[in-house]
Structure 1
Amino acid sequence: MLHNKIRQYLIDFLVGPLFIQSQGEDRYQRRFEAVGYTDDPEEMKQYPVVILPSGFFDSSHYGTPRSCPSLPLREWRGIPILFGEPREEWSREGHQVIIHADLIASSYFLLSRYEEMYLRHERDQLGRFPGKSSLAYRAGFLHRPIVDEYGDALREILLSSGIAERYNLRIPERAKTFSAVHLTHDLAYPYNYRGWRSFLRAWLRERKSPLRSLKLAFGLDKEDDFYTYPRFLKWDQELKEHLPKGVTHIHFFIRMPSHSALDRPRYRPRSSYMRRVLLEAGRAKAHLGLLGSHQACLYAEMIGGERKAFEQAYAKPPHSLRYSSLAACEPEDYLQALYSGFRHDYTMGYADVVGFRLGTCHPVRFINPNTRQLTELTLHPLILRDLTLSSGEAMGLDHEQAEQIASELVHTVARYNGELTLLWHNHLLSQKTHPWHSVLYRSLLRQIEEIDREAIEAAEQDSVISSY
């Protein structure tokens, strides 16, 4: 069965902690368990709303072929459900709503990435679980955060059924804007040409003249194609200034030296060039995180050594973690990250398709599907990644198609007051490298600002109306 700690975490994740509204000094402080997850007749009496278990967590079911939903999925209130029956009813006494759709097991399946643990044979050439193999993609709801939709439906039941009024529950309306915006940049290729190796590459392999090769390898930083930092950090800073304080966060993920051919260029974290890059990051007050190498994706125990190398290079621990090419998907990878001291991970997006890999646009504490334990590692959903949109090995979209899909996802996150995480690489923000990624990125930042401004104006209008 499901541990009580995880059961309560999932219920709180869906509807939020509920408090009985009172008038004294303890106003809103008395917690009330309005939603239960049980089929025990005596235990059911404690809750005004009961979700019936489907058997997913039974020892005879969990981890077996029967635990994976089959297509097509049925819908409850217009939302796909993975387990249970798509219906609800009032109890005979008429004071309790019983939901036969197993929203807890459905949420757990998505939030814990259960299918990635179970379907370990489904991996691409880099060891990643393909988004196109996921249930969400095959069932056609990857673009929808259906766990958040479950939560909204439960809150609506509490309000429309009169349960919230009967128990005097406080259920505040969520703002239609972002709870947080994370602008993240992976320094997989911090430069195009720097040093003698770059000179030899430009001269001998790319057949450039010796003078041109020298200028590329030893010229000013701003002349390097990939040195886009001042430009995009200016855009990031502008958004940070327009959104409320503490909403926008800028992240640089930096890789430590690795022997894997996939981790080239093997740049030195304390080189003079990197010092100048980090000076730009410091001015923007960007968080520095560790970009786990491809070697660490293959050998999870190496992530602890890379964290120590980061601390030695920069005299402070990394703020957070992301694995290179989003190549981590095994529960063991995240356990090693947790044991190494990480508490925040930004890897949770598919490399081949964009959308809601976790089924939500809110940060989630990592639930180990092997042991069914709740951990202290927070997974931040990665909603949009530049390469996923444009690469021929992924979605292969053109500018117009990419903007339409990206805009829809950004608006969806705002609708559920979610956390928006974007990943744009410094080298792809050069128009010499890619024709439209810098244009798309800036367009998305403007949309984020506009959505937030409209939400503030709507809240002010509601406040004026309610005052009459």
Structure 2
Amino acid sequence: MILVYTHKITPRVRYIFKHILTRTLLIPVDFTSKVEEFVAFNGPKMTYTKTPLGNEFFVKSNNLLFEQGVNDMEISMQKWDETPCFFKTGPKSSIPFDVFAASFYLISRYEEYLPHVKDIHGRYTADQSLAYKKRFLEKPVVDIWAYKLLDALKEKFPDYVYSERKYEFISTVDIDNAYAYKYKSLVRSVGGFVNDLLHLRLFDVWNRFAVTFNLKSDPFDTFHKILEIKKEHKIKTIFFFLIGDYTTFDTNVSASKSKYRLLIKEMVDYAKVGLHPSYFTMNNASLLKKEKLRLENIINSPIQRSRQHYLRFSLPETYQNLIDLEVEEDYSMGYASNVGFRASTCTPFYFYDLDFEIQTPLKVFPFALMDTTLNDYMKLTPKQSLGRIRDIKNEVKAVNGTFITLFHNESLSDYLRWKGWKRLYESMVKIAIS
């Protein structure tokens, strides 16, 4: 255990010290604001305040962890060896930056509470973030800083026995459209047929006809392939099912269709399943609740994990709604337009609510990349995508983090905009576990 002395033990101090020391570096931590208690302690100890007490391990504190609410602040980036960092400390400090305050700023998503311009889907965009502007979006800097802190601690306390965490890979799959043509309502099927004809998409007309009359399988029905890959490579896989009512943005098969319900039940037998709340649930608690109950009724067990459709969430409202519904894990933390680390970490963390100044029970699992980002936003080829996947995986592996990817069942279809992408998922899995 490491004992931390600070002049004031705030919820922010407890939260970020536990995240960095305990959850990232696996070092138990305790706190004191009594000088005599700190002096009497014989094990590894550090002070986090304005001036050191003696020649102990000292980190000069920034004011951020002792404030409340959100204030606009000027951030000056500098380099710690090769890694960008901010909140410089000074000559007496054992490390050159206050990594606790800097990590809190990034992990709490402090900047997303400040005034910003949303995109057409009401989302906070990557290009407004500090990580994007200062070009460290594709580096899990919070974890890199934690390991640099660890090096300094090992130098100061060489006899302490340190544990090392293990790299982990989680494959997540969003089911926005379980099927391209099957089990859609008559109105949608006929409408799609007419639309394809009017636009002279004869290939699509033939495919729609062939699938509807069981002459060939539905191109988006790639579930058994995904399960095959899961079984062969022994990877943790989570399916997020969209079961909201039909809207312009939610075009999945209706949850009232028995075949779709059977598919969901089948997936529960082989993998973990979560809710994919529909487009308009971002600030609509009652709609979110309705969809959660709907999925719970299908699988006959409580829903613990969730990821917002279109990655539409606003802080803190969406997360507060999930917490009220006793959802334990959220997987929405990432950008649609860019690969990388939205919260600058590849370690799952508990959501800190800056409105109420508390650590909440909602655990956030940040994903590092998404198939539609590579294809639709970045316009990469499958081969170029593998290069980006390998780079990001190496960043996560270097800090023994958790590498989380987001794919869709559609991207294994080799159909329409996914032509040529069929093998990318399996190649990605091989890279992730190598």
**Contact 1:17 / 1:31 at 8 angstroms: preserved in 2?**
no
AA of the residue aligned to 2:162: I
Structure 1 residue 272 and structure 2 residue 279: aligned?
A: no
Q: After superposition, where does 1:73-84 map in structure 2 within 5 Å?
A: 73-84=77-88
Kindly report which structure 2 residues correspond to 1:38-187, keeping only aligned pairs within 5 A, or say none.
38-39=49-50, 41=52, 44=53, 48-57=56-65, 59=67, 63-65=70-72, 67-70=73-76, 73-85=77-89, 88-89=91-92, 98-119=94-115, 121-159=116-154, 161=155, 163-165=156-158, 168-175=159-166, 178=167, 180-187=168-175
Q: What is the Cα deviation at residue 437 of structure 1?
A: 2.8
Gaps of 5+ in 1: 20-29, 90-96, 241-247, 451-468
Unaligned runs of 5+ in 2: 1-7, 30-40
SS in 1 for 2:422: helix
Equivalent in 197, 200, 203 of residue 193 of structure 2: 203
User: Is 2:180 the counterpart of 1:192?
Assistant: yes
Give the Cα–Cα distance (whole angstroms) in 2 for the partners of residues 250 and 379 of structure 1: 17
Match for residue 388 of structure 1? Answer: 373
8 Å CA contact 2:193–2:205 kept in 1: the answer is yes
Q: Does 1:228 align with 2:239?
A: no
Change in 2 beyond 3 A, CA 1:338/1:189 = same
Residues 32 and 438 of structure 1: is their aligned pair in 2 closer, same or farther, counting only changes over 3 Å?
Answer: farther
Quick check: 6-15 or 138-147, which moved more?
Answer: 6-15
Q: Distance in 2 between matches of 1:171 and 1:18?
A: 10
Percentage of matched positions with identical amino acids: 25
State the 1:345 CA deviation: 0.6
Is 1:112–1:367's contact at 8 Å kept on the other side of the alignment?
yes
Distance in 2 (CA, whole Å) between partners of 1:214 and 1:31 is 76
Task: Write the distance in 2 (CA, Å) between the matches of 1:82 and 1:388.
Answer: 29
**1:301 touches 1:336 (CA, 8 Å); kept in 2?**
no
Contact 2:26-2:164 at 8 Å conserved across structures: no
Distance 1:32 1:235 in 2: 47
1:15 and 2:15 are equivalent in the alignment: no
Which runs of structure 2 are paired with 1:257-268 in the superposition (5 Å)? 257-258=244-245, 260-265=247-252, 267-268=253-254
Q: Which residue of 2 aligns with 1:254?
A: 241
How far apart are 1:110 and its partner, in Å? 0.9
| CA distance in structure 2 between the partners assigned to 1:51 and 1:225 by the alignment | 57
- CA distance, structure 2, for counterparts of residue 397 and residue 213 of structure 1: 28
Secondary structure of the structure 2 residue equivalent to 1:437: coil
TM-score by length of 1: 0.79
Extract structure 1 runs of 4+ deviating beyond 6 A: 209-212
How far residue 424 of structure 1 moved from its aligned partner, in angstroms, is: 0.8
Query: Residue 109 and residue 134 in structure 1: after superposition, are their counterparts in 2 closer, same or farther (change >3 A)?
Result: same
Q: Is the 8 A contact 1:431 1:438 kept in 2?
A: yes
1:129 deviates by 0.8
Letter in 2 for 1:16: L
Could you tell me how far apart the structure 1 residues matched to 2:170 and 2:384 are?
23
What does residue range 322-361 of structure 1 map to in structure 2 within 5 Å? 322-361=307-346
Match of 1:461 in 2: none
Partner amino acid for 2:80? Answer: W
Rounded to whole Å, the distance in 1 between the matches of 2:239 and 2:317 is 25
Q: Does 1:449 align with 2:417?
A: no
Q: Which amino acid in 2 is paired with 1:136? A: A
**Residue 402 (structure 1) shift:** 1.5
SS at match of 1:378: strand
Deviation at 1:279, TM superposition (A): 5.3
| One-letter amino acid of the structure 2 residue matched with residue 344 of structure 1 | E
Aligned residue-pair number: 406
Q: TM-score, normalised by structure 2?
A: 0.85
Amino acid at match of 1:225: P
Separation of aligned partners in 2, 1:430 and 1:353: 23
Counterpart amino acid of residue 112 in structure 1: S
Q: Secondary structure at the match of 2:105?
A: helix
Change (3 A) 1:75 1:432: same
Q: Determine which of 419, 426, 439 is the counterpart of 2:423.
A: 439
Partner of 1:292, secondary structure, is coil
Q: Judging changes above 3 Å, is the alpha-carbon distance between structure 1 residues 123 and 317 closer, same or farther for their aligned structure 2 residues?
A: same
User: For 1:32-66, what per-residue CA distance to the aligned partner results, in whole angstroms no more than 9, with x for missing partners?
Assistant: 5534322255xx45x93222112234549x6222x
Q: Distance in 2 between matches of 1:31 and 1:214?
A: 76
CA, structure 1 residues 174+308, in 2 after alignment: closer, same or farther (shift >3 Å)?
Answer: closer
Relative distance call for 1:288 and 1:376 in structure 2 (3 A) is same
* C-alpha contact 1:345 1:378 (8 A) present in aligned 2: yes
1:331-375 deviation per Cα after TM superposition (whole angstroms, max 9, x unaligned): 111111011111101111111101011111110011112232111
- Per-residue CA distance 1:217-271 (angstroms, 9 max, x = gap): 2427x6111111112221122111xxxxxxx321111122235321123x22252
Are residues 1:286 and 2:271 paired? yes
Mark the CA change 1:124 to 1:227 in structure 2 (over 3 Å): closer, same or farther: same
Q: Secondary structure at the match of 1:143?
A: coil
Q: Distance in 1 between matches of 2:256 and 2:189?
A: 20
User: In the alignment, which residue of structure 1 is the partner of 2:402?
Assistant: 419
Q: 1 CA distance for matches of 2:27 and 2:194? A: 64
Matches of 2:370 and 2:149, distance apart in 1: 31
Question: How far apart, CA to CA, are the structure 2 residues paired with 1:183 and 1:74?
Answer: 35
Q: Does 1:297 align with 2:289?
A: no
